[in-house]
Each structure stands twice: as C-alpha cells, then as structure tokens.
Amino acid sequence: MFRARETTTAMNTDTDSAVAQAILDGFDRHYSLFRDYSCEGKSCFEAADWNRAAEASRERILGYERRVEETVRGIRERFPEAAENAGAWPRIKIAFIGKLMDHSQAECAETFYNSVACRVLDREYYKSEYIFWRPAISTEYLEGSRPVYRSYYPASDGLRRSLLEILVSYGLDVPFRNLRHDLRCLERAVLEQRNRGWKAQPNYQIQVLDSLFFRNKGAYIVGRMINGADRRPFVIPLLRNDDGTMNVDTLLTNQRHVAVLFSFSRAYFLVDMEIPSACVRFLLSIMPRKSEVDLYAMLGLQKQAKTLFYRLLQHHLRHSRDNFQIAPGVRGMVMLVFSLPSFPFVFKMIKDRFDPPKTSTREEVRQKYLLVKNHDRVGRLADTLEYSNVAIPLNRIEPSLMDALRDEASGSIEIDGERLVIRHIYIERRMEPLDNYLAGASKRQRKLAIRDYGNSIRDLAGANIFPGDMLKKNFGVTRHARVVFYDYDEICYITDCNFRRIPPARDYDDMMSDTPWYSVQENDVFPETFGPFFFADADDMEIFRQHHAELMTPEWWKSVQENIRAGKPADLFPYPEKIRFRNRYEPGAEPDRD
C-alpha cells in the first residue's frame, strides 16, 4: 500500500514537472520568435523596408495567442488527466516556479503560464494557488549574455569622441550623410542643454541601452546622462534619407519630449531585449512618471502590461473607497463607458444594441479595435488593453451605472456572488474629452488645442487612418496637451475611401432639399461637409481654417491616398519640429565651447 502510494506520488510529480516544462517550452518558443521579429527592426531600417517593419510588428502581436493555443492544445493531447484535474495545477505551478530560477524573462513566463492555465481551468480556479496573482521570481540583477547598457566617459575621453563611439557602436549598415556635421550638432546640443554653472562630477557619464529602438521610419538610441545627482534622458533619433544615407535628427534630453516618444498613443517599438525587466527599469529611471504597465506595452509585451495592470487595479480597489460610475461627457452610441474617479483609466464595453444612426455590428466594432491594436498609432490613437471575465465588487458600482449595465450591456455581464463579471471590456488611459477641454480652456489653450486637433487628423491620415466620426467628443486631450482620437467604431483605411466634391445644385429646389441631390455610395466621403463636425463657433472655425483649410477639400485627401499607395508613408515625428537639427544648426557651424 505504501509503495503504491509512493509510486503514484512519483508519477504525479513527473507529470506535474512535464506539464510545467511544456508550458515553459511554449513560452521560450514564443519569446524566441518575439526576438526574431524585434530584430527585423534593424534590417528593415537598413533596407528602408517600412512595409515589412509594419508586418513584423503585426506578426509579433499575433504570435502570443498562437503560442498559447499551441501549448494548450499540446497539454490536452499529451496530459489529458492533468488538463481535466484542477487539483494538479497548484503542484504544476510550484514545479513551474522551480524552472524559472535565473530565467531571463521570468515575469513574462509567469504571465504565459497564466494565459495557458486560464484556458484550461474554469474561472473559479483563478486564485493564487493556481495562477500567478503576484510575481514569484525576482527579476532584479539578472545578467544576460551582454550588458543591458554601455557607459561612456566624456570627461576623460572627450565629449565628441564619446558621441562618435555611441553613434557607430550599433553597427548599422547605413552610412551617415555627414557624420562630422551630426557630431557637431550633438555636441552643441549637449553643451546648450547644460544648466548654468554646470560642472563635471566624478561620476559624469553617458549610458545607452545596448539595443536600438525601432518604430515607424526611425531608429532611436536610448540612454541617460548622469552627473552627480542629476540624471536626465539622452535619446538620439536616427532617420533614413532618400539617398540611402542616415542622419541624426535631434537630441532629446527633456523628460516631456521623451515621455511623448513613449506615449500610450504610439505603436510598439521593435527592440531586441534579452532581459526585458532590466530594460524597463532603465527606462523608468529617465521617465519616473511612467509605469511599468506603460513601458512593457511600449516594448511590445502587451500581455505583461495587461498582467501588471490587472494587479494594479486589484491593489487600487483594496486601498480606495470610491465607486465605479458612468464616465462624464456625452454618452456614446456604441460604447458604454465608465470610470473609477481615483483611477486614471476608463472602462469601455460594447453595448448590446447601438443607438441610431449607427448600423455596425458588435463583431465589426471588435475588428475596428483590433485594427488599431495592429496599426501604427502615430501618437494619435489611444492604446487599449482588452480583457475577458473581469470581476469587480458589486458594492463598488454606483446604482446609475448598474442600471445602465443592465439596460445597455446585459449580454456582457454576469453576477457571481458578490462580484460583477464583465465578459469583454476595453481599458484605456483616461483623457479629457476635447469638447470638455475647450469649454474650460484659456484663449491660448483653445488656439493650441484647435490647431492640434487638425494636426491629429493630418497625422492619422498620413498613417492611412480615416477617423470617420470626427466630432470633438471622440477626441481626448492628454496630460501633455496632445489631441488623441479614441472612438474607433467608424474608422477605416484612407485608401478605402472615395473622396468627392459635392456636385453643383441643379436648381433652387436642390439647394433647399433635406436630402442630397446627388448619389452617395457606401465609401464616399465629402470633405466640404466637414465644417459642422469641426466647429460650429465662427471664431473657432476661423482658427481652424488658418491652419487646416485644406482638410475640407477632397484634393488634399486624394494626395494623401496617392502617397500611401506609392509606398511613401508620412514623416511623423514624436517631438516638436522646431528642435530638429535641420531647423536649429546650419551645416558646418561649430559648437560653442565651455
């Protein structure tokens, strides 16, 4: 009897270890492919193959779900008893933890384990014994095959020499158009941005991450300058030129500029990381207002960002007392939006039925959000975290919100004891709706916001996105005063639209008719009619026309279409035009010396 029990225990242990290994193998395969796609950022930059760079980014996003599905299928086929026995999973989790010692991506592997376990287990087992509610393995002080960052010492080696070594250290197979000029510009920018009375301290150094960051048409050297207790960002954007060369475009040492570069409204970087947690810690040191959620998402590790966000939400709920309530602003026709005032995010659910004149389906709306997830958001589309089966305490929901959930989204909710379980939800960073912002803005703020509203539409168009519904309530203002679009149920590709002029009226009756006197097909767009969507106030409209009158002409939109179809994506820079070196320094100008 004792031997039989001992044999059974040994068999269970072997099976638990084998299941844990299968999950880890699935993750290792995922992360190996993730790094392969990330490495394509370099080759695409060198070849100026922007279409392939976009494809690699999309394939990298889709790869996670594919690897999870493969792993779940393998476990059910090879270990059917373990798959059907929830009691085995606490042991499998312990076995999995043992395999993560010194693993370079332990935190991401734990998230992958959760994804697999949650596909296999029923919802009642989403507990800390079965899945990783908290991280089990520390990722501090992990060492990879190469150092995470490199250090340079301008005080002893000279500033210009240090800058030269940084620029050439990444081995890009693209020549600089004028390396001497770029070095002079960089040196001058460093000297100009020093504080008055600056003095080199014994620890004066420049540290740069070992891998380049690639996004859109740019490559970024990301680092920090340290001098005494002062620590500031040090980011160098590299841009390709049409003649096959590259140049340094500017130097970013301002935290705000770097924060916008890593904004939630931009697509994910392609960057090769052996130890992602170390990369995130480095970035937090130069962007202390960012969270790990933001940075893991920006590095393309959206699932890890989702895990961290959910932990953050649960922690916040335990340490707050305010209630979920309907979000302020104009109610949406397609989405039910609510918020927790003390938490800087909004929660968006697709309604069961859409208010007229909306005619799209629930699945079409989900596809629109998927389009945004896979697209370059160029700083003008809010990123979303998509969840299933999110549970929140019933006693933290305002009665008016509960009524709205029952009336408008009953098909997506379920009461489970003292919790409300939401079957499908999107979560976005909270922004102030543009119409609300303008209502309380100063004269200067108003002018800047109106101008940036037009810039937002331009940038979206340059990225092949037509917003569809361009009402101000569908745009938000970030803490950096940037205007961002966040209502996706009517977006489409610019190349799918047919931009037309309104034909002249045939007679007075045509002019007075409530219905168009001309035929309108499904994809027809008439920019001349945009005015009322933009601004009803004459003064606001005049400000808008001063900067963006061409947005109300079909010719401008057609020219954008032609560039996109010709494979010429727009140059969209995540920093102000005025700080680009071409606008600041004349070729050949020497920097001022200390």
List residues with catalytic annotation: 383
Q: Taking the CB of residue 558, how many other CB atoms lie within 10 A of it?
A: 15
Q: How far apart are CA 533 and CA 236, in angstroms?
A: 39
The first and second tokens of residue 566, run together, are 């010709």
The first and second tokens of residue 366, run together, are 């989900």
The first and second tokens of residue 440, run together, are 């309380």
Amino acid identity for residue 171 in this structure: G
Query: Is 225 in contact with 231 (CB distance < 8 Å)?
Result: yes
According to DSSP, the residues that pair with 335 across neighbouring strands are 350
The first and second tokens of residue 180, run together, are 């001497």
Burial class (CB in 10 A: 0-12, 13-18, 19+), 531: middle
List, in order, residues 6 or more apart from 131 with CB less than 8 Å away.
93, 113, 114, 117, 118, 121, 125
Q: How far apart are CA 224 and CA 547, in angstroms?
A: 36
List, in order, residues 6 or more apart from 15 with CB less than 8 Å away.
79, 81, 82, 88
Query: Is 310 in contact with 345 (CB distance < 8 Å)?
Result: no
Q: Which of 120, 16, 181, 252 is nearest to 590 (CA)?
A: 181
Q: Taking the CB of residue 241, how many other CB atoms lie within 10 A of it?
A: 13
The angle subtended at Cα 49 by Cα 44 and Cα 55, nearest 5°, is 80
According to DSSP, the residues that pair with 215 across neighbouring strands are 218
Q: How far apart are CA 266 and CA 480, in angstroms?
A: 14
Q: How far apart are CA 394 and CA 396, in angstroms?
A: 5
Q: Is 113 left (phi over 0), alpha (psi -120 to 50) or beta?
A: alpha
Q: Which position has the token pair 């697709």?
A: 350
Q: Taking the CB of residue 139, how many other CB atoms lie within 10 A of it?
A: 19
Q: How far apart are CA 490 and CA 324, in angstroms?
A: 27
Q: How far apart are CA 94 and CA 545, in angstroms?
A: 64
Q: How far apart are CA 53 and CA 269, in angstroms?
A: 10
The helix or strand, by DSSP H or E, that contains position 433, with its residue range, turns out to be strand 432-433
Q: Which of 379, 452, 109, 81 is nearest to 218 (CA)?
A: 379
Query: Is 486 in contact with 445 (CB distance < 8 Å)?
Result: no
Q: Note the residue count of the chain.
A: 594
